[in-house]
Structure 1
Amino acid sequence: MSKFSKPSDNTTEYELQRLNKLRRYDIIDSPPELLFDLIAEIAKTTFKASGSFISFIDEAKVYFKANTSPIPVSVIEKEDSLCAVASQTTEITLIEDTHSYLEISNNAYVKMDNGIRFYAAAPIITMEGFIIGTVSVIDEKPRHDIEQDQLLVLKWLARITLEKLESRLINRISVRAYDDRLHRLAHDMKNPATSLIAYGQLLDKGLLSQEKLVSLGKKIEQTGRNIEQTMNNLLNEAKNENAAIDLRFETVEVIDLINAAAATFDSTLKEKQQTLKISCLTDGYIQVDQERINDVLNNLLSNAIKYSHERATIEIICSEEANSIIFEFKDNGLGLTREDITKLFTKFAKLSSVPTAKERSNGIGLYIVKTLVQLHGGKVWASSAGKNLGSSFFISLPKQESLPITD
């Protein structure tokens, strides 16, 4: 059992990651829910205690998701909370008599009339090892009769609490999927629709040679097939109301992905008289859903083109780190403000810049990029020296450790 041991990894980076994980659950300051209340009641009954809590520890405060105690609080300062003490260890905290420990004898909830004399808590630990809260029991009198079976139940209840958090998160994601599918469809259909309009305008002029008509016909056919595939993807995702995006992984050479993206925007680059430089510093492979990662790369290259001026140079730089392949899309265009960077990768973000040729931007593309990259176990981020000083967008994807086996 533990009482006041210090955390072994309570670094700034650890705390930032812990808080990020906690906030993903969207549990802080949320209304009561029946299952959490039942977990707290089971803990209270198991220990024959005067009260119990399910607590979550934010940056400066502790929030009580469930409270069966006579202490009528829903949020307190972190420094006043015994939960914050218990979160310093992955073991169960057992304090049979709080008055026996100088470290907590001055705690407001220990000193108060009918205050906390007994305290036991099991940490709520995420799969990544972050302690985000506790399931705890209290009593107004010292308790020296606690048995191991009771503490084991408390540990199980903490685990059940985490499972509930995970199921809530999955449900929230699946509910949002309906909305996201519609927005993604609108976004994915925008570029093919624009292409078809441009092809129609070319045909209307009647100035194309037979050779160019054949080429244009093939482009129209391919655009139509892309639209059909987009619709099929949407229908496949919608078959199950709880379905996430279905990824079909395959081994792909990095340079092939880059070349495919470059070929897709060849005409657009020529139209704005822009130059694309490719610098691939790896001959590595990655395991990805090629269609989805093509969407990611196309989106980033499309943005670089839209937010760069005519005759600008755009770069795609691909490099290799210990366990990752890094893709950088670099331009010398309109750049990003600090405020812009905080808004990136959120749905319907409104940035300070507009496309240089008044191309359309609906604010959802980077949100889709982030979603798809994270589904592949990767990361996405951006940097800019400031307004009109260009920007770089990065994605990092796990590197395949061994080359694919060929016949």
Structure 2
Amino acid sequence: MSKFSKPSNTTNEYESQRLNKLRRYDIIDSPPELLFDLIAEIAKTTFKAGGSFISFIDDTQVYFKANTSRIQDWVIGKEDSLCAVASQSAEITLIQDTETHAEVKNNAYVKMDNGIRFYAAAPIVTMEGYVIGTISIIDNKPRYDIEQDQLMVLKWLARITLEKLESRLINRISVRAYDDRLHRLAHDMKNPATSLIAYGQLLDKSLLSQEKLASLGKKIEQTGRNIEQTMNNLLNEAKNENAAIDLKFETIKVMNLINTAAATFDSTLKEKHQTLKISCQTDGYIQVDQERINDVFNNLLSNAIKYSHEGAQIEIICSEESNNIVFEFKDDGLGMTKEDISKLFTKFAKLSSVPTAKERSNGIGLYIVKTLVQLHGGKVWASSAGKNLGSSFFISLPKQESLPITD
């Protein structure tokens, strides 16, 4: 069970990255959603408890995405939250009687009339190891009847909550892309539509000569062809899902990208007793959208961790080749068959291997990697000697020849 410590508001590197991950889910201040409410109800029923919460921890406040308790607050200060205390550990927190624990007995919600006397919480932990919230149970009386099976259900519900967050994120990215196309279509169609209305008004007046009617007919035909071309362009873009993603390029040092990825997965590597070896033969720069390439690196390093056994060594190798910088993410894990390799980078691909610690895998990560790398003018590929013989994933990105000159 968890050891307790008061939450700190100190913004360190971990906290900064944790908050970035949380905010990408866009869950804070979002309206109620049925699945989250059902998860909270299942937790409450499993424990036969007085209430349950799904909570997400921002920098200074805690937000309840679901709340089945008699406590009417949906946002509370981080300093008042038992959830923020529980989030200090990646293990389940169990407080059978809050009045016997010095760490929480002076909490405002414990001291209130008919306050919290029992508390249990499972952390919601991202693949990168960031605790972004908890699913928790409360009661107004001490509880010494809790069994391990109930706590395991609470842990599973936290995993299901994370799965829902991930699926929401993927759906939002997809919807945003289509929204962008719709907005551009509306913008591109506005002028020709206005022109057609004006032409129709001229025809309605029946005051045009035969020569002007012929000229107007040609204009109407050309406007129609322009609309047709706009629609064809839209359909072609829809086939290429990359087209709606807007990139913001900046010049970044190669080692900074690698170090960011390494720091992101430090706790995950420790959890599986794995080591990360970095071998970089360049101190060069590349021009990329840093957030997007961070996503690429995180996905490839995450896969290497997931498909490697405990105690394994993982390598990130980078080198210069012609005008490109090549990154290799190498592991000695489960490896791939030729059939697996043929299906890589396709949406919802199902491979023969499963993560060694039953980590999540939704089959879309490598598809997104390919999309983002190609948008940067790069290439992505993979190799493996076969099952249980490890894998290497490569990305090649154009090298920035020199730093931009600034005034």
Normalized against structure 1, the TM-score is what? 0.51
Seen in structure 2, the aligned counterparts of structure 1 residues 398 and 128 have a Cα distance that, compared at 3 Å, is: farther
Give the CA deviation at 1:29: 1.3
**How many residues in Structure 1 have an aligned counterpart in Structure 2?**
241
Seen in structure 2, the aligned counterparts of structure 1 residues 178 and 84 have a Cα distance that, compared at 3 Å, is: same
Q: Which residue of 2 aligns with 1:400?
A: 327
2:22 is the alignment partner of 1:48: no
State the AA in 2 paired with 1:103: E
| 3-state secondary structure, aligned to 2:133 | strand
Q: Which residue of 1 aligns with 2:285?
A: 326
Q: Which residue of 1 aligns with 2:70?
A: 70
State the AA in 2 paired with 1:50: G
Is the Cα contact below 8 Å between 1:377 and 1:398 reproduced in 2?
A: no
Give the CA deviation at 1:127: 1.1
Seen in structure 2, the aligned counterparts of structure 1 residues 156 and 328 have a Cα distance that, compared at 3 Å, is: closer
Is the Cα contact below 8 Å between 1:7 and 1:89 reproduced in 2?
A: no
Paired with 2:178 and 2:58, the residues of 1 have a C-alpha distance of 30
Give the CA deviation at 1:81: 0.3
Normalized against structure 2, the TM-score is what? 0.51
Paired with 1:176 and 1:170, the residues of 2 have a C-alpha distance of 10
Q: Which residue of 2 aligns with 1:113?
A: 113
Structure 2: any 5+ residue segments left out of the alignment?
A: 188-229, 259-282, 299-323, 330-380, 384-407
Seen in structure 2, the aligned counterparts of structure 1 residues 114 and 321 have a Cα distance that, compared at 3 Å, is: closer
Q: How does 1:41-190 map to 2 (within 5 A)?
A: 41-181=41-181
Seen in structure 2, the aligned counterparts of structure 1 residues 244 and 131 have a Cα distance that, compared at 3 Å, is: farther
Give the CA deviation at 1:2: 1.1
| 3-state secondary structure, aligned to 2:32 | coil
Paired with 1:231 and 1:320, the residues of 2 have a C-alpha distance of 41
- Can you list the C-alpha shifts for 1:66-106, whole angstroms capped at 9, x where unaligned? 11001111000000000001000000000000000111111
Structure 1: any 5+ residue segments left out of the alignment?
A: 188-229, 247-291, 302-316, 330-368, 379-396
Paired with 2:252 and 2:74, the residues of 1 have a C-alpha distance of 50
Superposition CA RMSD, Å: 4.1
- Can you list the C-alpha shifts for 1:273-300, whole angstroms capped at 9, x where unaligned? xxxxxxxxxxxxxxxxxxx9xx97xx96
State the AA in 1 paired with 2:327: Q
Paired with 2:252 and 2:21, the residues of 1 have a C-alpha distance of 30
State the AA in 1 paired with 2:25: Y
- Can you list the C-alpha shifts for 1:186-236, whole angstroms capped at 9, x where unaligned? 99xxxxxxxxxxxxxxxxxxxxxxxxxxxxxxxxxxxxxxxxxx9999646
Give the CA deviation at 1:401: 3.8
State the AA in 2 paired with 1:327: I
Give the CA deviation at 1:11: 6.2
Seen in structure 2, the aligned counterparts of structure 1 residues 183 and 29 have a Cα distance that, compared at 3 Å, is: closer
Give the CA deviation at 1:400: 2.5
Is the Cα contact below 8 Å between 2:7 and 2:84 reproduced in 1?
A: no
2:242 is the alignment partner of 1:245: yes
Q: Which residue of 2 aligns with 1:218?
A: none
Paired with 1:61 and 1:80, the residues of 2 have a C-alpha distance of 9
Give the CA deviation at 1:41: 0.3
Farther off after superposition, 169-178 or 74-83: 169-178
Paired with 2:74 and 2:165, the residues of 1 have a C-alpha distance of 19
Is the Cα contact below 8 Å between 2:55 and 2:83 reproduced in 1?
A: yes
Paired with 2:325 and 2:23, the residues of 1 have a C-alpha distance of 25
